[in-house]
Amino acid sequence: MWLVGDVPAARGQRRGVGFEMVRVGLTVATSKSRSWSSGVQSATTERGMAMFANLPIHPVLAASDIDRAKKWYSEKLGLKPVSAELFGGLQYEAGGVGFLVYQSDFAGTNKATAVGFNVDNFDEVVDFLRTRGVEFEHVDFGEMGASVDGVIASPDGQKAAWFKDSEGNIFAVSTDG
């Protein structure tokens, strides 16, 4: 994964027995893994953009202090790293999807939701997070409504709440009602 303006930029994702990492255009690959950069090129030139519909998404979150982030993910979300990356990033897994938390001076600069969790037990999840000290953001969508005590609810029963991790990344918890 290319992370523009962010050094080091690392991508690690398990693919069978292979393991890939990309660092600012330099591909370091172990046996039985393919080059990420050449894979992207072939996706756009040989098979067209439709190929991306079959590629797994690998979310990436920036942290200005990786140790502080590790502590936050453990204490607030109950997540432990499943592995550590060559350049100091931490691989996590939630709901069967892996994601990377990596060191960056640009952490917390995204003003939009970076990660969303869809849950069936919304109130239970919000209560769990509150008991761990998570503070929910106030949102105001004008005529569509505003949050009350950090939660916004629609007339059809949908609920959502937003919070930030220790690094300023914005998370959402929501349900379809």
Which of 43, 74, 103 is where one domain is finished? 103
Task: Measure the CA angle with vertex 139, ends 111 and 128; round to 5°.
Answer: 95
The model's pLDDT over 77-89, given as tens digits with 9 standing for 90+, comes to 999 999 999 889 9
How many Å apart are CA 23 and CA 94, to the nearest integer?
25
Instruction: Indicate if 123 and 144 belong to the same structural domain.
Output: yes
Which residue has better confidence, 27 or 110?
A: 110
Instruction: Indicate if 89 and 49 belong to the same structural domain.
Output: yes
Q: Label residue 59 left, alpha or beta by phi (over 0 means left) and psi (-120 to 50 means alpha).
A: beta
Closest CA to 91 of 99, 58, 103, 65: 99
Q: What is the pLDDT of residue 177?
A: 55
In a domain? residue 46: yes
In a domain? residue 64: yes
Which residue has better confidence, 13 or 64?
A: 64
Instruction: Report yes or no on whether pTM surpasses 0.85.
Output: no
How many Å apart are CA 102 and CA 139, to the nearest integer?
28
Q: What is the pLDDT of residue 128?
A: 96
pLDDT of 1 > 60? The answer is: no
Instruction: Indicate if 122 and 156 belong to the same structural domain.
Output: yes
* Mean pLDDT (whole number) for 139-153: 93
Q: What is the token pair recorded at 1?
A: 């994964």
Question: Residue 29's domain is classified under what CATH number?
Answer: 3.30.720.120
Range of the domain at 21: 13-103
The model's pLDDT over 17-73, given as tens digits with 9 standing for 90+, comes to 222 233 333 223 333 333 344 444 444 545 556 677 787 888 999 999 999 999 999
In a domain? residue 56: yes
Q: What is the token pair recorded at 9?
A: 């930029």
Which of 79, 103, 127 is where one domain is finished? 103
How many Å apart are CA 136 and CA 97, to the nearest integer?
24
How many Å apart are CA 172 and CA 80, to the nearest integer?
20
Instruction: Indicate if 122 and 84 belong to the same structural domain.
Output: no
The model's pLDDT over 114-126, given as tens digits with 9 standing for 90+, comes to 999 999 999 999 9
In a domain? residue 1: no
Instruction: Indicate if 24 and 90 belong to the same structural domain.
Output: yes
Instruction: Indicate if 87 and 149 belong to the same structural domain.
Output: no
How many structural domains does the chain have?
2
Instruction: Indicate if 32 and 91 belong to the same structural domain.
Output: yes
Which of 103, 132, 164 is where one domain is finished? 103
Side-chain-side CA neighbours of 72 within 13 Å: the count stands at: 18
pLDDT of 105 > 70? The answer is: yes
Instruction: Indicate if 21 and 81 belong to the same structural domain.
Output: yes
Closest CA to 77 of 41, 119, 109: 119
Q: What is the pLDDT of residue 54?
A: 80
Q: What is the pLDDT of residue 49?
A: 61
